Amino acid sequence: MHLYNTTPAALIKQPAVCAMLSLSRSGLDKLRKRDPSFPPRIKDGDSRQAAVYYVLAEVEAWINAKMAARNGEAA
């Protein structure tokens, strides 16, 4: 389920992840805290305003695992 034509290690910014999941930024933060299986973020710096990225392949794998679990399949 590649939404973007990229390499497997491609990084996507947090707003793109929010768009993929139809969540606000605060909704994504709640999801990250509630679901430990959600992929970890990669922060570009130490400041609060530093850009946040995710590995696209990890986010897609998480989505696929959730769909498989919903359908009763082994992830």
Query: pLDDT for 4-24, tens place per residue?
Result: 555 658 999 999 999 999 999
Residue 1 located in a structural domain: no
Q: Which residues form the domain of 30?
A: 11-70
Long-range contacts formed by 33-39: CB under 8 A, 24+ apart: 37/62, 37/65, 38/62
Residue 41 DSSP one-character state: P
| pLDDT tens-place string over residues 31-65 | 999 999 999 999 999 999 999 999 999 999 999 99
The helix/strand/coil state of 3 is coil
Query: Which residues, in sequence order, are CB contacts of 42 under 8 Å at separation 6+?
Result: 11, 52, 53, 54, 55
Residue 75 located in a structural domain: no
Query: What domain count does the chain have?
Result: 1
pTM: 0.81
Residue 5 located in a structural domain: no
Q: How far apart are the first and last CA of the chain?
A: 15
Residue 21 located in a structural domain: yes
